[in-house]
Amino acid sequence: MTSTGLTAKRTAVLRSTRDIVPDGTQEAIRKATRAVGRATSGVRMLPDFLVVGAQRCGTTTLYRLLVDHPAIVRPLFHKGIGYFDIGYDRPWSWYQGHFPVAAVAAARTRRTGAPMTFDSSGYYLFHPLAPERIAAHLPGVKIVVLVRDPVERAFSAYKHERARGFETEDFETALALEPARLSGEVERMREDPAYLSFHHRHHAYVGRGRYAEQIVRFQQALSPEQVFVIDANRFFDQPVEQFARLQEWLGLPVHHPAKVEQANARPSKPMPAGLRTELLAGFESSDAELTTILGTTPSWRL
C-alpha cells in the first residue's frame, strides 16, 4: 500500500474510533494521553506552524488535509489545543506534551523528509493576547490564516453557537446585542490575562470578520513573512491548487489529496438580502485593508 493509502486508512480508523468510543471514555483517554505527553515533553516536537483561524472559515477541512500529508505527524488525539488563548495558565510542558515524540516522528516520515507538526486552534486569530504569547514562545513559527466572506462567516458562526447552546437569540437580535456583549471585554482580558470572556469567544459574529486588524496583530508580533493568508472561498473552489500553494510556502513536499470534502457545513435558509447588504457594507473598510494584505481583491468583493 502507498504512503497516501496508509495515511488515509489511519485517518479513517481514527474517525471511526471517535464515533464508537463513548465521550467519557474519550475524555479519560485524552487525560491519560496528555499526562504521558507532559511527562515526556522534553523529547517532543514543537509546532512548525499554527493554523490560527478564522473560525468557520474551513479550518477543519484544512486540518484534515494536513494530517493526511505523509510528511506531517499530527498533534495528539484532537484538533484544537487552545494553549495561547484559553489554556495559557497551564505549564509549557502541558502544551509541548500534545506533540509527537521527535524520534518517532522522524522514523515515520523517513521516506518523505523531515517531519512537521502543527497546532490548529481557531480562537488564536481573534484572541487579543495570542499573537504576543505566540511570539514569546515560538518566534520562528509560521502562521496560517483562512478568511471567507465575513457576512457568511458571521451567519455560520451564529448557527454554530446556536447549535452548541451558546446562543439563544435570533440572528438579527444577536447582531444588535454584539456591541453591548463585547463592550469592555478586550480591556478586561488585557488587564487580567486569566480572564476568559464568554461573550468574546462565542458572540463576536461581526468582530471576528474584521480580518485585517487581526492579521496585522500577527504580522507585528512576528513578521509579515511568517503569515500566510488563504481566501477560503477560493480554497473551496480550487482546493488542490490552493493547498499546493500552502504546502510550498510551508516547505512541504507537495502532496495532492485524492478527495477534498468540506467539513462542518450547516445548511439553512439564506439570510434576507437587505441584511446581507447592510452587513457587507459594514466590512468595507476592513476588506479594503485585507485587499492590501492579500495582494488581490477578496473573492466576495468581486
Give the domain ranges of the chain.
46-86+114-301
d(CA 170, CA 176): 10
pTM beyond 0.95, yes or no: no
Share of the chain above pLDDT 90, in %: 76
Residue 37's pLDDT is: 62
CATH fold for the domain made of 46-86+114-301: Rossmann fold (3.40.50)
Alpha-carbon dihedral 283, 285, 288, 293, rounded to 10 degrees: -90
Please say if the pLDDT value at position 281 is more than 70. yes
Q: How confident is the model at residue 268 (pLDDT cuts 50, 70, 90)?
A: low
Q: Of 81, 185, 88, which Cα lies nearest the Cα of 130?
A: 88
Q: Of 220, 234, 214, 179, which Cα lies nearest the Cα of 289?
A: 214
Mean pLDDT of 19-28: 59
Please, where are the H alpha helices in 50-170? 59-67, 92-96, 102-108, 130-137, 150-163
pLDDT in tens, 125-134: 999 999 999 9
Please say if the pLDDT value at position 39 is more than 70. no
Least confident of 15-24, 81-90, 92-101, 190-199: 15-24
Residue 14's pLDDT is: 45
Query: End-to-end CA distance of the chain, in Å?
Result: 44
Cell 508580533 maps to which residue?
A: 221
Residue 10's pLDDT is: 46
Residue 30's pLDDT is: 59
Q: How confident is the model at residue 80 (pLDDT cuts 50, 70, 90)?
A: confident
